[in-house]
Chain A
Amino acid sequence: MSAVDLDSDAQAMLKVAAGDRQAFAWLFDRYHASVARFAFRFVGDRERAEELTQDIFVKLYRHAGAYKPTARFKTFLFRVATNHCLNEVRRGEYRVSHTSSETPEGEETGAVEMAGPEGDRPDQALAGRELEQVVGAALGDMSARERAAFTMCRFEGMAYRDIAEALEASEAAVKSLIHRATLAVARRIEELQAGTAPARSRA
């Protein structure tokens, strides 16, 4: 991300604080995919992720006045997103539903829509779906904070420092959350790779 991008984000956000809907729409278009992805990885269900995404953007709009342009916009956005998701889980509104049984083999996945170039490579597509399932299962076993930290790190490419700010935690705590989460996913992937070796040679 270039400095120009950050500046325009901050400028747009200041306009949003003054009630500018167009500036808000611009920020929405820029960050919708990131927030939706975060919500989906956090809650593991497409429909709930959609609700969370909407609520997060409404909150962003309502709390635009709290934004200080000294802070990176994306960090502020993910602070709003993380707070919202953690609160919803704490209130019991959302039961995290990352389960590998949710997407039986051969059926269309309800949780995630496959996109990308796997279409012409069936073996790769299968591996992708299996991977999706084990990652989902690992996410479901994590604590909410581990899941949030892991998601920001692995799917948004955020630096530990920014994740710490979004989570209102120390960098040392974030480092530990991400390590535990990544190791948990690693163990599951290790099992997958060991388990599917014969299947792969068959294909």
Chain B
Amino acid sequence: MSCGFEEDLTAYVDGELPPARREEVTAHLDTCAGCRSTHALLRNTVARLAELPAYEPSSATRRAVMAKLDALPVPWWERLRKWLRPVVLVPSLGLAAAVGVALLLAGPGPDAPPELEDPAVMELAANLEVAEDYEVLGLDSAEDLEVVANLHELEATP
């Protein structure tokens, strides 16, 4: 085991040696019985490992993982987007408005509000109130935001 080539024999079997070193090892195998025997053993081992029975993963894992994803805490912007949905008339516009709000909440937003069709401008205005309340009240938790969103939802109901 004191032969300096021994360390390279697995990489040699795996085809992971640089070409120059590979040639050196090939030449060395002709002269070193110890390495020849170790090389044969390693090559045989790698071949036998391929015969191991396949591992059959559980078919229940997918559902378990998806359930765990559902249980993850939802980021506040995702929740905001969901709360805003009942307030708006058209879901896609609501989404756009929510993105606008998210931009405003995220810090220094664009100077001008995004250009939208009339109903959308109205929605955006309604949602801007949420953003304003958020800033005025100095709310920082998602739960507080939910309260504010629900207040507006109540106001929107006739």
> Chain A: residues with CB nearer than 8 A to chain B?
19, 21, 24-25, 28-29, 32-33, 36-37, 40-41, 50, 53-54, 57-58, 61-62, 112-116, 118, 127-128, 131-132, 135, 153-155, 159-160, 175-176, 178-179, 182-183, 185-187, 189-190
Contacts and interface: CB of A to CB of B under 8 A. Distances in A.
Contacts of A183: 10, 38, 42
Nearest to B78: A19
Contacts of B11: 160, 175, 178-179
B45 A189 contact: yes
Contacts of B16: 159-160, 175
Contacts of A40: 55
Contacts of B8: 175, 179
A131 B48 contact: yes
Please classify the interface of chain B as helix (H, G, I), strand (E, B), loop, or mixed, using the class held by over half of its residues.
Answer: helix
A9 to B, nearest CB: 18
Interface stretch (B63-71, B90-98, B144-152): B63-71
B57 A36 contact: yes
Contact of A50 (B7, B58, B78): B58
B55 A186 contact: no
A107 B93 CA distance: 63
A132 B68 CA distance: 32
B66 A178 contact: no
A179 B7 contact: yes
Q: Do most interface residues of chain A lie in helix, strand or loop, or is the interface mixed?
A: helix
Contacts of B44: 186, 189
Given A33-B57, A115-B56, A178-B11, A185 B64 contact: no
B81 to A, nearest CB: 10
Interface in B101-126: none
Given A36-B61, A50-B58, A176 B7 contact: yes
A81 to B, nearest CB: 13
B66 to A, nearest CB: 7
